[in-house]
A and B are shown apart, each in its own frame.
With several copies, the nearest count.
Chain A
Amino acid sequence: GHIRLSVPIVRLGDPVMASCTISPNCSKLDQEPQILWRLEDGPNQPGDRQQRLPDGTQESIITLPRVNLTKTFVFCLVPWGNSFQVLDQAELQAGYPPASPSNLSCLMYLTTNRLVCQWEPGPETHLPTNFTLKSFRSRADCQYQEDSILDCVPEDRQNTCSIARKHLFLYQNMVIWVQAENALGISESPKLCLEPMDVVKLEPPELQALDGSRDLVPRQPGCLWLSWKPWEPGRFMQQECELRYQPQLRGANWTLVSHLPSSEDQFKLCGLHRAPVYSLQIRCIRSPLPGLWSSWSPALQLRPTI
């Protein structure tokens, strides 16, 4: 016995046709056995029609009008004594072609020296679907292709892939997109044009309180003395920072101090009177070249001088 499917993988809801043939030299069977079908654990049922081919082969054909399961085992059987015997089994898969992956975005990390891209894969296809991050290097306008970069294949079921430093030109544009592929089709995300260093993800500097007891810092009421240094791996970048502070009182708002340098040995913040304790945070961005704001540093809790 042998089952043939019109297609082994279909769209969910589409029809599929199956045939089961028994060759005439299957000596243990009747000459014209009745061929039956079973889907999964369902009942045995006859096919739509059964015929004898010129060479004596028996053939039964069945049409499944709508495939509703993502995975179906189809059995072909014949009666045998008081029971039935399975002659063959086929596996029918169903799902959807992939939608275009969306929301592709990338960040360049200086510690791992990798450009990490992530995306949303779109609705479940119910079929093994491969995602590939594709890219090529280009000149300023992203119109022309220079070298294409090795495809990046994400680890199992991760919607993220990272390109190693050796495949990157950090200061040259590249075009990046995601391709999704399964047995029912291929689709591509919109293309991204970026220079890896322009999406660098810096870490904030470490904000430190200057010890008020040191002679260097003359005491003055309602003030705080601070210092910070840029995050070491991003030190070669020209940066601009901003500081925010908030009195630890219910409903208090943050106050922002912008356009600060990336390094300060002795920064004075005065005019603080309303609360005994203030929370302070700092973050930085590459500037004047393009960049992304770092996250805010962990909050520092400080008491202004009295």
Chain B
Amino acid sequence: APLVSVTSLPPPLPLPRSFLLKSLEQVRKIQAGNSVLLEQLCATYKLCHPEELVLLGHSLGIPQASLSRCSSQAQQLTKCLSQLHGGLFLYQGLLQALAGISPELAPTLDALQLDVANFATTIWQQMESLGVAPTVQPTQGAMPTFTSAFQRRAGGVLATSHLQRFLETAHCALKHLVQP
């Protein structure tokens, strides 16, 4: 059964079911760690409203990744995988830039960063197996620099809430692929 119903495109690639199941599990694992981090930032530093940090996010230059090619309407598998990898790679770098955020949050942040990096690797290796990986891995763009503890914490709130939205889209797309 075809996975997508868009015509005039190359035929859909067969993604192994185990890859999809493992990816879904990784999404949920990262979502769980991410939620813990958001709750800790709210409880410890009273930073509970990401919508109040939009202006700061702009001035710090906190980036956001898109998953437009993974929406169920116009799913283009190769491009979706590539966007998924690119986004995870971006957030992994962003989480790394938050290092030193606070001793209490460090274990959660470190674990989250590793989970995101591992997931990005899983996706990349699948792209390689399918022969759709670019010849060179993308390199990380410039990351925001934080000049105060508050900026780092606010950056943490923004990065985790962006990642949360990214993962919701990714989960939906993967779910659609595993049970078409």
Contact = CB atoms under 8 A, between A and B. Distances in A.
Interface of A: 26, 28-29, 40-41, 73, 75, 77-78, 80, 83-90, 113, 139, 165-166, 169-172, 197, 235-238, 288-289
B154 interface: yes
Contacts of A172: 118, 121-122, 125
A79 B45 CA distance: 21
Contacts of A26: 59
A113 B54 contact: no
Contact of B31 (A28, A75, A236): A236
Given A89-B150, A165-B114, A236-B32, A171 B52 contact: no
25 contacts: A28-B55, A28-B58, A40-B46, A75-B46, A77-B52, A80-B54, A85-B56, A86-B47, A86-B49, A86-B56, A87-B55, A89-B45, A89-B154, A113-B111, A139-B125, A166-B110, A169-B118, A170-B115, A171-B22, A171-B118, A172-B125, A236-B25, A238-B21, A288-B21, A289-B22
Contacts of A169: 118, 121
Nearest to A170: B118
Interface string B34-51: 000000000001110101
B29 interface: yes
A86 B158 CA distance: 13
Nearest to B30: A236
A85 B53 contact: yes
A77 B21 CA distance: 44
B28 interface: yes
A77 B28 CA distance: 35
Given A85-B52, A89-B150, 10 more contacts: A40-B46, A41-B46, A84-B52, A86-B49, A90-B150, A165-B111, A170-B115, A172-B125, A236-B31, A288-B21
Contacts of A166: 110, 114
Interface residues of B, number: 35
Given A77-B52, A139-B125, A166-B114, A86 B154 contact: yes
B52 A238 contact: no
B46 A85 contact: no
With a 10 A CB-CB cut-off, give which of B24, B29, B32, B49 has the most chain A CB atoms: B29
B161 interface: no
A73 B52 contact: no
B26 A171 contact: yes
Contacts of B73: none
A117 B75 CA distance: 42
A206 B119 CA distance: 30
Contacts of A170: 115, 118
Contacts of A41: 46
9 nearest A-B residue pairs (beta carbon): A236-B28, A85-B55, A236-B29, A89-B150, A73-B46, A86-B52, A236-B32, A171-B122, A169-B118
Given A165-B114, A236-B29, A236-B32, A83 B52 contact: yes
Contacts of A40: 46
A211 to B, nearest CB: 29
